[in-house]
Amino acid sequence: MKKISDIPLQDRPREKLQQKGAQALSDHELLAILLGSGTRTHDVMTLARRILKVLDETSANPTLEDLTGIDGIGLAKATLISAALEFARRRIRPEGFKITFPTDVLPLIRHMADRKQEHFLCISLNGANEVIATRTISVGLVNKTQVHPREVFADPITDRATAVIIAHNHPAGNVTPSKDDVEITQKLKAAGETLGIKVLDHIIFSHKGYYSFLESNALGSGP
């Protein structure tokens, strides 16, 4: 695991932001800037990655207890992260973001493309095709056991959503759907029809691009 001192000067988070802008940084690099420094036993990049894992697991809504449960994160750093997340939620909210085409959600999820594990996401939409919430449903290998309709639709039902867009990343880069991806899509689409919540699309994405079941006319059958 690289420490800040091991990274060439121009590629260090602060210098990279100053030269290329905040949008050029990965999530853990942005967190490293917020943290400022590591501890005597944990460098800042390691701490940032540990925090990022908790943020993914809690859909970016961790409690102070979640954050202080991370080895190397005390109450001061946990409070800083919690305050930063709440400030961002109040100023830059995805809720109300209008979806014209399902792939319009890509700006809301593409930051997950650099994750080393597969993350399965569900975006709830209201009757006006506006985003209600974006949530992480599971972390790890996406398969039929992990991605169960009750887990996917539990929050959209509470949201009174009329539709959802599901998505997951392929860490290796290839966005071609697997057999499991196709079967999961069909199962969730059928469950959504029963619940009255339409599955508009399943998007597979990576740092190389994306695959849309809808665009490929594969939403109701194999690719």
Q: Are residues 51 and 139 in the same domain?
A: no
Long-range (24+ apart) CB contacts under 8 A made by 73-82 are: 73/47, 77/35, 77/47, 80/34, 80/35, 81/31, 81/34, 81/35, 81/51
Q: Are residues 24 and 112 in the same domain?
A: no
CATH no. for residue 132? 3.40.140.10
Residue 62 tokens, joined: 């961790």
The answer as to whether 125 is a domain residue is: yes
Given phi > 0 = left and psi -120 to 50 = alpha, else beta, which region is 122?
Answer: beta
The answer as to whether 97 is a domain residue is: no
Whether residue 45 is predicted with pLDDT greater than 50 in this model: the reply is yes
Whether residue 111 is predicted with pLDDT greater than 90 in this model: the reply is no
107 contacts 98 by C-beta, under 8 angstroms: no
Q: How confident is the model at residue 22 (pLDDT cuts 50, 70, 90)?
A: confident
The answer as to whether 160 is a domain residue is: yes
Mean pLDDT lowest among 7-16, 17-26, 99-108, 176-185:
7-16
Could you give phi then psi for residue 67, rounded to 5 degrees? -75, -45
User: What is the predicted pLDDT for the residue at 93?
Assistant: 59
Question: Does residue 215 sit in helix, strand or coil?
Answer: coil
User: What is the predicted pLDDT for the residue at 50?
Assistant: 92
Domain that holds residue 70: 4-91
Could you give phi then psi for residue 161, rounded to 5 degrees? -70, 150
The answer as to whether 166 is a domain residue is: yes
Q: Are residues 189 and 208 in the same domain?
A: yes
Whether residue 220 is predicted with pLDDT greater than 90 in this model: the reply is no
The answer as to whether 175 is a domain residue is: yes
Q: Give the tens place of pLDDT for each residue, 124-159.
A: 999 999 999 899 998 887 665 578 899 999 999 999
Q: Give the tens place of pLDDT for each residue, 165-208.
A: 999 999 999 999 999 999 999 999 999 999 999 999 999 999 89
Residue 35 tokens, joined: 């943290």
Q: How confident is the model at residue 92 (pLDDT cuts 50, 70, 90)?
A: low
Q: What is the DSSP letter of 70?
A: S
The answer as to whether 110 is a domain residue is: yes
Q: Give the tens place of pLDDT for each residue, 32-41.
A: 999 988 888 8
Question: Does residue 161 sit in helix, strand or coil?
Answer: coil
Q: How confident is the model at residue 222 (pLDDT cuts 50, 70, 90)?
A: very low
The strand pairing partners of 204, in sequence order, are 168, 211
162 contacts 197 by C-beta, under 8 angstroms: yes
Mean pLDDT over each residue of the chain, to the nearest integer? 88
**CA atoms 185, 191, 193, 198: torsion sign:** negative
Whether residue 223 is predicted with pLDDT greater than 50 in this model: the reply is no
Residue 136 CB neighbour total at 10 angstroms: 19
Residue 51 tokens, joined: 């925090």
Q: At what angle do helices 44-57 and 75-91 cross, to 10 degrees?
A: 50
The answer as to whether 223 is a domain residue is: no
